[in-house]
Structure 1
Amino acid sequence: MTEEPQRNPNAPTGSDAGQGLWQACVEQLAQDLPEQQFNTWIKPLVAQVAEDFTKVTLLVANRFKLDWIRAQYAGRIAALLEGLYGQPVTLELAIAQRESVIRTYVRPASQQQEPQHSQSSGQTQNHGSAQGSPSGQGQGSSTGSDESSAGVFRNRLNAALTFETLVEGTANRMARSAAMHVAGMPGHLYNPLFIYGGVGLGKTHLVHAVGNRLLQDKPDAKILYIHAEQFVSDVVKAYQRRTFDEFKERYHSLDLLLIDDVQFFANKDRTQEEFFNAFEALLAKKSHIVMTSDTYPKGLANIHERLVSRFDSGLTVAIEPPELEMRVAILINKARAEATEMPEEVAFFVAKNVRSNVRELEGALRKILAYSRFNQKEISIQLAREALRDLLSIQNRQISVENIQKTVADYYKIKVADMYSKKRPASIARPRQIAMYLAKELTQKSLPEIGELFGGRDHTTVLHAVRKISGERQQLTELNQQLHVLEQTLKG
């Protein structure tokens, strides 16, 4: 007979504790889910928690959202609630206006699938909080291009994401300077401005800052922030409804277009054609375009060459992973925004152990804040150790780039010196790319740091290797088996 799970004895009780349980669940989801998914589906939910914690009812806005959340997120939410409470929790969904309840307790969460990118869904919303902060209050809460039904153009800018709230450091100084120049003199130099970098480094924050600064200087400016997926959705709607006059009026009349993650245009020919037309129209009227991507223009896959050449015709700048001092400042500022003071020694402890990007840094902060609130303990290094124990156990493996290089060189029977040489035959270049991929996957080194350890190579070379091996691993069984052996060897 299976022993009944025990409730966390340190967990508070009462109605406030019920909301605390839900808030802890939300903060974990904010860390686990991509920012766009979290802002669209999880953040708007309102929770009603039973006094005995055995049932949580989530109120949603409409039938579509209810069905989608039930199918895609109910299992994960239920599992998180159970993990936090220590006993099974029944999860129900209800349409807020009608109070019609549908039971949706699904387990295990591992059987749920994430929403897929689609040209025709037209349901993705983008609220533009660069770091996925649950407290960000974006202005753009409507869907698609139907948002102006009240006769008011919505710019979708998040007023909280400004140059003043962006922590500056070596990692983003050039990109921030270029963005400020664009905000001060739109339509002149650096048009288009193309900002690229890894996930969670603050690209979205920066483009919102451009829009907010221009809106401050010119309140009548017609500005639109949008995610590339929403542009895809708008193109599909225009084709389906034969409303291209409205589509062109919307996009071709802007003073400033801010568009996130243009890599999502890959393999979407109609979308690329319409974006090219909008791009040309905006540049002709000296409007400004600011774009973000996870890679530099020529590194984009399955994008038409003429569009890539347009992307590369202005200024291209990178945002790098933040250095230690910048990570400490981000943690202290973000904690303050949550009405919490984080001791500097705790911020340094977290910053030393979370190095990859701002989003993971904020995820660690949310874990610490949730752990502190739910267990009613003061924030300290010991509490941070407890809250981040899973992350720290990975860190403590202490896999070094040098060890990766030696292990890979031995496996493929080449010299360790070949890892940082300029030789390019396939027998050497391939193992070198594999070692770069493993260095990114198994260490906390940034792309520039990895590049430096591979003979002073540029970070874009490392990024190319990581993307190439990652993609091929999904398709080539033999490569996947080789990587598995190397990973197990390195992890001991």
Structure 2
Amino acid sequence: MLQNIVSNIITKIKKQDFLVYFRKLSIIDNSDSKITFGVVSGFMKDNLEAKFYKDILEASKEENPNISEIEFKVDLNIDNPSNNDVVDCATFYKNFVKSKKTTKVSEVGTIEIKPSKTVNGRYSLANFIVGSDSQLAYSACEAVCKNPGKSYNPLYIYGDVGLGKTHLLQATGNEILKKFKDKNIVYTTADKFITEYVTAVKKRSIERLREKYKEVDVLIIDDVQFLSKKEQTQNELYNIFNILYEQNKQIVISGDRAPKELEELEPRLRSRFEWGITVDIGRPDFETRLAILQEKARAKEFMIPQDVAEFIATNVTENVRELEGVLNQMVAEYELSGQTPTLAKIAEKLKKLSFTNDMLGLAKEPQKTIIKSYEDIIKKVSDHFGIETEGILGINRKKEFMVPRQVSMYLLKTKMNYTYERIGNIFSGRNHAAVLYSCKQLEKMIKKDQTLLHEVNTIRDSIGI
């Protein structure tokens, strides 16, 4: 009976909601008109009652028309391996979908489907939170999914760590597989590709490696910057790239910098990365961080008070992984102690993690970005140091101009995600090596000079970045 009810539930609600909110179900009591379902936790009980009571009641009525009421209780015996009257919803869903596919295939004959390799099914374009700094990258991935090998090939996505590059790459692979089930999709990281190449060399099976990649329809490579100083591996990737590109096979790549800035890679490989479209992902704004935090909490079946979520999104600003790390700590503490997160506790936690100095437990108003272009940043820097903008943009090497110039370049690179080449064009046509040197020099200086660090932070606060 329970399995039939769960099958009915699957047909009534979205897949994502089922997999997120339904963990395990049991039947504690079953009378003529009422069913009492057992669930894993009070959190799951509250969500099922609030969100899916009507759907579950209808699903129960389809199995027994006399049912007029359902109830949920925490079943302390639900995780007992000897308890056979329990449905593991995630496993049941997989088997349910598999049985449906088998039925369809048997009607039209056997279909051979090439399996995708190492693409993680939990990543999708649907659960990627799109912000202003990731809109272009997201749209490019959508276009590739509709027409792989023909739209934007190769697609190169770059940005700092923890901003969602891996999510977009894996989601692109999953979306293509969903639309083109015969495609052979391979997702790998640069590190794994290096290991694979070294193993092939040791076993004298390079040709086998090449043959394997020749069969790929979509090749996705993450973190190509780690191919640095691996000349032979770079050469092999260059050959594989050419083979796939000539056959109109889709190639998707990510790195932490734009191709031109990957100076450790061979120029001919970098140039191929630029054959298609290059897009960047910037740091998410407050609204996007808040939405990401809430979505990830929902996926973990964890409820965060709105004021706590806003406080975290205001103070944890660098990347998504940091947000997820704070969320994981909250979930762990709740599971271990049973205490729900409060503003005061989170303020103390973030202070210990060096995210904020605020111990008052009061969420600050989210900073609003008031800059519209690079001119706004340079104007703020020039006003702060009391010099003309022409002096910052010019070639005068006096210290009174050099430090503000380095600060401007540093902010454009780290906070606006401008490429070194673009920054160089702004500053009297300097080459990207000169801009890179200036940014590195400032990083060294602010580590040693607390006064200069304060100056930089003051400028950042005044323009909301």
TM-score strictly above 0.5: yes
Q: 1:204 to 1:406 in 2, by over 3 A?
A: same
- Aligned partner (choices 123, 129, 134) of residue 172 of structure 1: 134
Secondary structure in 2 matching 1:421: helix
2:254 equivalent to 1:292: yes
Q: Percent identity?
A: 31
Partner of 1:435: 407
- Aligned partner (choices 257, 279, 296) of residue 334 of structure 1: 296
Alignment of 1:279-358 (within 5 A): 279-358=241-320
Alignment of 1:381-420 (within 5 A): 381-391=343-353, 394=356, 416-417=387-388
Q: Deviations over 1:142-192 (max 9, x none)?
A: xxxxxxxxxx86510010000011111211111111101101100102000
2: distance between equivalents of 1:269 and 1:417? 46
1: distance between equivalents of 2:342 and 2:435? 36
Deviation at 1:194, TM superposition (A): 0.4
> Any unmatched runs of 5+ in structure 2?
1-113, 365-376, 456-465
Q: 1:377 to 1:455 in 2, by over 3 A?
A: farther
Alignment of 1:24-423 (within 5 A): 155-391=117-353, 394=356, 416-417=387-388, 421-423=392-394
Deviation at 1:371, TM superposition (A): 3.3
2: distance between equivalents of 1:350 and 1:238? 47
1: distance between equivalents of 2:384 and 2:433? 18
Q: 1:416 to 1:350 in 2, by over 3 A?
A: farther
Residues 351 and 357 of structure 2 are in contact (CA less than 8 Å); yes or no, is this contact kept in structure 1? no
Q: Deviations over 1:95-133 (max 9, x none)?
A: xxxxxxxxxxxxxxxxxxxxxxxxxxxxxxxxxxxxxxx
Secondary structure in 1 matching 2:393: coil
Residues 227 and 260 of structure 1 are in contact (CA less than 8 Å); yes or no, is this contact kept in structure 2? yes
Q: Give 1:446's aligned amino acid.
A: K
Residues 372 and 383 of structure 1 are in contact (CA less than 8 Å); yes or no, is this contact kept in structure 2? no
Q: 1:297 to 1:490 in 2, by over 3 A?
A: closer
1: distance between equivalents of 2:340 and 2:426? 44
Deviation at 1:407, TM superposition (A): 12
2: distance between equivalents of 1:245 and 1:390? 53
Deviation at 1:370, TM superposition (A): 2.8
Is 334-343 or 365-374 further displaced after alignment? 365-374
Pair member with larger Rg: 2
Q: Give 1:486's aligned amino acid.
A: D
Partner of 1:446: 415
Deviation at 1:468, TM superposition (A): 3.9
Deviation at 1:303, TM superposition (A): 1.2
2: distance between equivalents of 1:160 and 1:456? 41
Q: Give 1:447's aligned amino acid.
A: M
Q: Give 2:395's aligned amino acid.
A: R
Residues 332 and 344 of structure 1 are in contact (CA less than 8 Å); yes or no, is this contact kept in structure 2? no
Q: 1:200 to 1:396 in 2, by over 3 A?
A: same
Partner of 2:450: 487
2: distance between equivalents of 1:311 and 1:273? 14
Partner of 2:86: none
Deviation at 1:363, TM superposition (A): 1.7
2: distance between equivalents of 1:185 and 1:396? 49
User: Alignment length, in residue pairs?
Assistant: 322
Partner of 2:69: none
Deviation at 1:483, TM superposition (A): 3.9
Q: Give 1:435's aligned amino acid.
A: V
Residues 405 and 419 of structure 1 are in contact (CA less than 8 Å); yes or no, is this contact kept in structure 2? no
Partner of 1:120: none
Is 364-373 or 176-185 further displaced after alignment? 364-373
Alignment of 1:455-470 (within 5 A): 468=437
Q: Give 2:233's aligned amino acid.
A: T
Residues 436 and 466 of structure 1 are in contact (CA less than 8 Å); yes or no, is this contact kept in structure 2? no
Residues 436 and 465 of structure 1 are in contact (CA less than 8 Å); yes or no, is this contact kept in structure 2? no
Deviation at 1:448, TM superposition (A): 5.3
Deviation at 1:421, TM superposition (A): 3.3
Q: Deviations over 1:202-226 (max 9, x none)?
A: 0000011110011111222110000
2: distance between equivalents of 1:466 and 1:335? 40
Residues 436 and 450 of structure 1 are in contact (CA less than 8 Å); yes or no, is this contact kept in structure 2? no
2: distance between equivalents of 1:361 and 1:374? 20
Deviation at 1:340, TM superposition (A): 0.4
Q: 1:395 to 1:255 in 2, by over 3 A?
A: farther
2: distance between equivalents of 1:339 and 1:364? 15
Q: Deviations over 1:342-368 (max 9, x none)?
A: 122221111111111111121222233
Secondary structure in 1 matching 2:325: helix
Is 420-429 or 180-189 further displaced after alignment? 420-429
Deviation at 1:440, TM superposition (A): 9.2
2: distance between equivalents of 1:420 and 1:385? 42
Q: Give 2:165's aligned amino acid.
A: K
Q: Give 1:294's aligned amino acid.
A: D
Residues 353 and 392 of structure 1 are in contact (CA less than 8 Å); yes or no, is this contact kept in structure 2? no
